A and B are shown apart, each in its own frame.
Chain A
């Protein structure tokens, strides 16, 4: 039965998706992996059982893909980040993240996919000074309260949750809300920030962060196929660290700066189009820590291999 298993990874050009593909390939060389992305796929590492396809994310293209391959598992790792060039265009992000996700989920149902695994983010909870520690999966998603530009992130998560419970008897679905994923293969904002010599080190706030190594995250994604039942799971290690200490571990001590002034500077930068999304500043002020008990219940206490200090030290190289 396993011989015929077909896996779809949406967003294969991403570093995390490639680690995942490699992990699946190593453990199940008999499975067939189809990776799609709207970005270039020529840099995707070649694997015997992986076909990387570049395609425009459109309803027609996805429908043709689902019709051609009877996928057993679909990984949706293609959330358009609010940090990318699109971040200012909320309408475009809503179209891709919310409407696009909705279409993919419907196709999964129509073509009898057995399991859907969606990568969301801990950002959905929002960074607030009154955040309780270790937010559980049922905590309110407050990210878009202060910053409407985060609407797509929250709505994508919510649309998946609603869909998941509605169709729980027909299809297994897992939504993962990981903490900051860092590693040398993924080029997300947090990794770039930690590797930057000019990273802002807040002197007026001391936020606490959780970091998971990209390999551990890929392993959670991989194990989700068989070991996580339908549900929403926060993904974070037990350990946490202050941002100041994290910067010290990566070898770049950071540039001490009052984050309170950052908003002001950002307004000036707006004129040169170099500004960063305002809500990111809040993540440098306030902690948003997530609870991992539900995930550990299924994957065990030692689901992650890298300790937080190892994860950060590895960014040095």
Chain B
């Protein structure tokens, strides 16, 4: 039985239940986005392919668990998350979670990409076709007004270039996303992601090389493939926007008060997540009880 359990853990194939859920998600996405067209080249066929490739990683490799599904309603959101790991795999897993964990009402979360990536051959185009866009205020506004949800990592590159002692320490959030939320009256969904920091243990931040390559950060790690660190995603209660604050007249100090509250909410869930996190790999039968995934 233990051997069967171990084999199941390393088997990359999805269970029948997962496959069935995947089919349902794809059918729902096809229905939802049948008439959707965006000026970045959104491509539903590509999203289906990516989902098919990424789901085994999501379910079997990173063994993602999602908590707080009940906090998500059928409305556009700005998903505001902590940034972890040297490569933004956290954003990628969050995007899959928002589709896969909601088979009846999946959504494609539009991530924000850095300027250097938007102009990169192949990658820029791949990102745009899969729904990720340049993190520009007008772009975000356009999507939110169309009823789409976006994800932001307001720590920016500081979030993914942290050294080991700073893992899970939130870096100061930038203000931009809150102004967009005020302008478009979109609720903010605080997201805490645990597990992604350990995928690429930090060795060295090659700042001079990053500067020479024209990229914002280049944290180096000893491994090229992410380690199979189990990931937990906590979805907090939507942050209600103040009614008395205007996006045009609000001062940075007024906005910071609210951002501080969002940071606090994300930190609280990070602390909960760190206490109940699973051990690496989770292959040993003795750990089986700890790997009880919400979805079996």
A208: CB under 8 A from chain B? yes
Select B139's contact among A133, A203, A242, beta carbons within 8 Å: A133
User: Residue A289 at the B interface, CB < 8 A?
Assistant: yes
Q: B115 within 8 Å of A by Cβ? A: yes
User: Contact between B41 and A130 (Cβ–Cβ < 8 Å)?
Assistant: no
User: Which of B41, B115, B134, B136 is within 8 Å of A242, CB to CB?
Assistant: B41
Find residues 108-135 in chain A having any chain B CB closer than 8 Å to their own CB. 128-130, 132-134
Question: At the interface with chain A, which of B5-13, B124-132, B174-182?
Answer: B124-132
- Tell me how far the C-beta of B41 lies from the nearest C-beta in chain A, rounded to whole angstroms: 5
A204/B118 in contact, CB under 8 A: no
A203–B126 Cα gap in the complex (Å)?
10
**Given the contacts A129-B115, A132-B136, A133-B142, A287 and B39 also touching, CB distance less than 8 Å:** yes
The minimal Cβ–Cβ distance linking B215 to chain A, given in whole angstroms, is: 13
A260 touching B121 by the CB < 8 A rule? yes
A229: Cβ under 8 A from any B Cβ: no
Interface size on A, residues (CB 8 A): 20
In the complex, A287 Cα to B142 Cα: how many Å? 16
Instruction: Kindly supply a per-residue 1/0 record for chain B positions 128-150, scoring 1 wherever the CB is within 8 Å of any chain A CB and 0 otherwise.
Output: 11000010111100100000000
Pairwise interchain contact A130-B136, C-beta atoms closer than 8 A: yes
Chain A residues with CB below 8 A from B119, complex form: 128-130, 285-286
A residues within 8 A CB of B125? 204-206
Q: Count chain A CB atoms within 10 A of each CB in B115, B121, B139 and give the residue with the most.
A: B121
B128 neighbours in A (Cβ, 8 Å): 206
B280 at the interface (CB under 8 A from A): no
Q: Does A258 contact B (CB under 8 A)?
A: yes
Question: Nearest Cβ in chain B — how far from A211, in angstroms?
Answer: 14
Q: Does A306 contact B (CB under 8 A)?
A: no
Known: A206-B41, A240-B39. A130 touches B115 (CB 8 A): yes
Question: In the complex, how many angstroms separate the beta carbon of A197 from the nearest chain B beta carbon?
Answer: 24
- A136 to B, closest residue via Cβ: B138
B40–A132 touching, CB < 8 Å? no
B-chain residues with CB within 8 Å of residue A287 when the two chains form the complex: 39-40
Measured CA separation A26–B136 after assembly (Å):
46
Interface hub of B41, B125, B128 (most chain A Cβ within 10 A): B41
A237-265 interface code vs B (CB 8 A; 1 in, 0 out) = 00010100000000000000011100000
B115, closest chain A residue (CB): A130
Cα distance A196–B238 in the bound complex, in angstroms: 53
Which residues of A line the B interface, CB within 8 A? 128-130, 132-134, 203-206, 208, 240, 242, 258-260, 285-287, 289
Known: A129-B115, A129-B124. 17 other contacts (CB 8 A): A128-B119, A129-B118, A129-B119, A129-B134, A130-B118, A132-B136, A134-B39, A204-B122, A204-B125, A205-B121, A205-B124, A240-B39, A258-B121, A259-B121, A260-B121, A286-B119, A287-B39
Q: Can you name 25 A-B pairs with beta carbons within 8 Å?
A: A128-B119, A129-B119, A129-B124, A130-B115, A130-B118, A130-B134, A132-B137, A133-B39, A133-B40, A133-B136, A133-B138, A133-B139, A133-B142, A134-B142, A203-B122, A205-B121, A206-B41, A206-B129, A208-B40, A240-B39, A258-B121, A259-B121, A260-B121, A287-B39, A287-B40
